[in-house]
Amino acid sequence: MIETTARLVQAKGYHGTSLNDILKECDAPRGSLYFHFPEGKKELVLEAMKAGIEQVNEAIKTSLDSVENPADGVMSVYLILAQTMEESNYRMGCPVSSVVLDLPDIESELAEICREAYRKWTQMYCDAFMRAGIAPARALRLAKAVQAASEGAILMSRSERTVTPIEEIGKEMAVMISNVDAQKPNLKNIRKTEDSPDA
């Protein structure tokens, strides 16, 4: 049920996915759904999102931790995303973006889990960039750029039904990180500026 829900929500959005869709897709009785998820659709979607977020967490962590150059790690994340997109016939993508686009109540648990996922992914990139010697303020901006670019790449890929946008944007992000990484000897001279409130 969780896997089916994740797949349907990513493809059709939160409001576009009904309980009947989920039950039909996974061939499960309604009573079984409410036995495992007493709160119904909301609880099921939350669990599906948590599972999807954890998969992304692991992909980013593994990609960044397995290389010395964070640019290679970023490229690895994008290649994983491209593979997932292609294997799902351009239906899968970010486990939270489709829910965000459905405009959940800002105070809802759905909205909070989306915000927390974006914060965590951005911080994971930021930490990797700082480990490479990039100043914290710039590392955070780069991390946000990498995360935002991946979201746009997903939409373009689904629209064009090709992984080319993901691959090309991933390469540009990797080049951007490499260029900054190559400037590390000069970063000491501008670190105070980068970390200032106006940076």
28-47 pLDDT tens trace:
888 888 888 988 888 999 99
37 in a structural domain: no
Residue 11 lies in a domain: no
Number of folded domains in the chain?
1
Residue 88 belongs to domain with CATH number = 1.10.357.10
In a domain, 6, yes or no: no
Instruction: Name the packing angle between helices 19-26 and 41-65 (round to 10°).
Output: 70
Name the stretches of the chain with pLDDT < 50: 185-194, 197, 199
Q: How far apart are CA 177 and CA 99, in angstroms?
A: 29
pTM for this prediction:
0.84
Instruction: Give per-residue pLDDT as tens, 137-161.
Output: 999 999 999 999 999 999 999 999 9
Does residue 54 form part of some domain?
yes
Residue 27, in any domain of the structure: no
Residue 13's pLDDT is 86
1 located within any domain? no
pLDDT at 184: 61
Scan for tokens 């889990």, then name that residue: 113
Asked if residue 82 is part of any domain, the answer here is yes
User: Range of 144's domain?
Assistant: 50-194
**Residue 150 CB partners (closer than 8 Å, separation 6+):** 77, 78, 81, 94, 166, 169, 170, 173
Q: Is 185 domain-assigned?
A: yes
Residue 94: name the closest of 63, 130, 60 by CA: 60
